[in-house]
Structure 1
């Protein structure tokens, strides 16, 4: 059977999933309650920067396989499989996740579900959410138990979202019936045919997979950054330490890059929500280590400000600082919980004259932080700078010519917040080079 798919919520996850499923040959209807977003997507315009996605979106629209709506009634009538792709941000003033957008989708869609179908949750949620939503669907949908919920967590990496959707490294399905499993295996047949492993499990385990993965990654990043703190105290080199550890196959080198730490819309809020939910379940002691993981991560930002102040002569007053990077990671325009912007704002608050440049995130950065200065290029941002900070490891920053950059700055002083530059090359060009965790 060829299923018709709906994607409910067209933010980062939803827009990607809708476009990619259409590219695989499915008829897809994307839904969003924001008419402006629907109009933009229908015109082939993305609200985000994601390599390769706009081309796939436009191909889907041109083929007629992909379109967008604001009508839940139309979505219910159209779809056989409904993917819920809304966000679960951190609640204001607490660690817990806000799942109100998920509830709103279920409450808006369910009254129109009058035939057999499958609803698939892809959002990152506190464990226990899926069963609650399944009960709500059965209660509110006219088709009752003919509407089945599946939990299918997403594992997208910003900058690689198209590849991760089309060629995932695993598919996790939390199901309660063989029938729902069969439907999902058929929907994901293009991936399964390529050998993608599929894990069939229950709701709670499927919900835990994503947050457990993020907690592990965050822990690995904070571990090497904790080692950077020790290296600074011991006058050791964390870059060499990381390299030596990477050859141990039990440890591996991925996510073992010392630097400014993690940010973005997932890792920070997901580990905090994980801690909050563990507390509600009476298992809070199991995750107390994540508090230190979070604290190490935030200390990296404070240390970067300290290093920059040291190079500025002990004070930012009367000092011009160039910040290279605004996005939380390269190949993205996402500035949510961006370490780079956090550092830029703190230096500005301490009296520094800060100019920021980023290849794609400047628009978002300007809206969020209008008091900062912004440059049209790396060289423009660095004009007259007393200190240069590399805070997002875009390739164009790694490729900068130290002589060319040296020609526009007031002083050849640089702090490499991502350990991305070749220290000897920069020092040979007369730069005072500093980096987190290195002598």
Structure 2
């Protein structure tokens, strides 16, 4: 599942080639001919408040159409200088091109994209933001907040290494993006899509805490669902890996049967039955999905998607409150006002968040059903274990190796049984707490 914002057809039809041209235009290393052509780099940040949000809207080429006073003040430009200027006017040379490649890759697929970005003010100083960019009719809308969570420090280290690789290894933006995502996956995230959701959730939570704001009930519920579902997924993956490793038990049975020669028939049959039943379990869609490694960059589950959408809707609501009081955007007569654009995004995100949340609970109920089916199949395996134990008793003096296999089977079934019980308990409690019946 991806963070799909139902982009307008004009945006969704952007070709890969056009998108990459935009990336080169907006973030190339060629000096700008615009207002910050002579800007120097100063290792000093521009201060701004935790409660402040940056806003800007561009056309499909990245040319600025609208903004808010926070953007003007921190970037250090006048309204006349920013209006119709390329957004790359604030690009900082410390930013890896791979990050922009990831952003454009997500946008051209119709997703909203979140990323940490280091920008350069007109006077050469810098400021960091966490940006959420969304496709809208005729271009893109970006809302940016001040990053303060513990994850921010880690990301700065990842960016520094990525920038160094780009310089020393002459990586293309796409190669750099792959390298950045590899570091993110190594840190425990499924992909960049999952990382950006956690990052936005962390930064929004840190911001709300510092503002002494109360977390919204729907975000608390979705966040709790996401956390519990991840615990369940961890248990399920461990269980599935145990199922995969159990192939060795079947192989050992066959080896022991070979040692019996003429009396190998019963053990061979037991091994075959066990192998067939294990194959049926391993081919179960839930097991296959859990063990799948080829998750795309933007594939995320509904429970994660709902958290992302709720947070962005909250940010859009905050921007709406500002623009509804004083619409300081640059829309000309006859053009869509910023209030209308932001309101449409806010409402769309809320609708999508509600749908994603409902899909999340349906998915959890399906997970409960799948876990019960796997439990029944494992119970069938236990019957084969009983038959093997009887046969091992008959052959005890002739083939002591079967006792070792029985020990492996006992441990395997204990581990799988305990994991399934923990999964069922977690699912039952989660659905009961939220008013659903498991």
Bigger share in helix: 2
Q: TM-score, normalised by structure 1?
A: 0.26
Q: TM-score, normalised by structure 2?
A: 0.26
